[in-house]
């Protein structure tokens, strides 16, 4: 049967998940602005056992990796995050919307990457404030963007190891 002059139907892509990315970027930036306004640098407030809000600045990458370098790492991590973000948007565009687990993971990682790039471009560092601890041991402080990246990466790993593959025959 011919198309009879109608435009071809566009398939729904993973870009439908960008609403989540945008919402998480907004939440990330809102919480960071709140921390800047309410807290002094290194100020800490106990929220509950094992959780403080503590304002710190991260000049490095995850877990303050390379934070003690001369500033070149800011641009390295910015360029890396922008490159990863572009790749993720392309993948979301190419993915069918039905691959929701993968699209969800990509959207979370994209939100975290963009949220932290915004900080690096504006301030030269990333604003962290979530301080999880047990006794005297503290996990490195993190933020909403870092949480999104971590959850997205875990979802990608779970999908890679536990999702059945199409076309895999025994």
**Which position has the token pair 């999104």?**
148
Candidates 28, 119, 128, 131; catalytic one: 128
Candidates 28, 119, 131, 146; catalytic one: 146
> Active-site residue 119, yes or no?
no
SS (H, E, C) 20-43: HHHHHHHHHHHHHHHHHHHCCCCC
3-state SS assignment for residue 45: strand
Distance from chain centroid for Cα 69: 23
> Active-site residue 146, yes or no?
yes
SS (H, E, C) 3-15: CCCCCCCCCCEHH
Distance between CA atoms of residues 129 and 145, nearest Å:
11
> Both tokens of residue 94?
């190419």
Q: Are 126 and 116 in contact (CB under 8 A)?
A: yes
Catalytic residues: 128, 146
């Amino acid at each position: 049967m011919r198309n009879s002059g109608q435009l071809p139907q566009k398939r729904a892509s993973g870009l439908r998940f960008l609403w989540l990315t945008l919402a998480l970027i907004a939440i990330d930036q809102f919480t960071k602005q709140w921390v800047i306004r309410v807290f002094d640098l290194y100020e800490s407030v106990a929220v509950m056992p094992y959780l403080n809000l503590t304002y710190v600045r991260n000049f490095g990458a995850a877990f303050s990796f390379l934070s003690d370098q001369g500033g070149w790492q800011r641009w390295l991590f910015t360029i890396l995050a922008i490159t990863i973000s572009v790749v993720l948007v392309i993948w979301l565009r190419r993915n069918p919307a039905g691959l929701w687990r993968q699209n969800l993971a990509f959207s979370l990682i994209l939100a975290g990457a963009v949220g932290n790039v915004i900080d690096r471009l504006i301030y030269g560092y990333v604003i962290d404030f979530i301080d999880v601890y047990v006794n005297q041991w503290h996990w490195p402080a993190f933020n909403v963007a870092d949480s999104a990246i971590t959850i997205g990466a875990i979802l990608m790993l779970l999908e890679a190891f536990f999702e059945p593959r199409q076309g895999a025959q025994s």
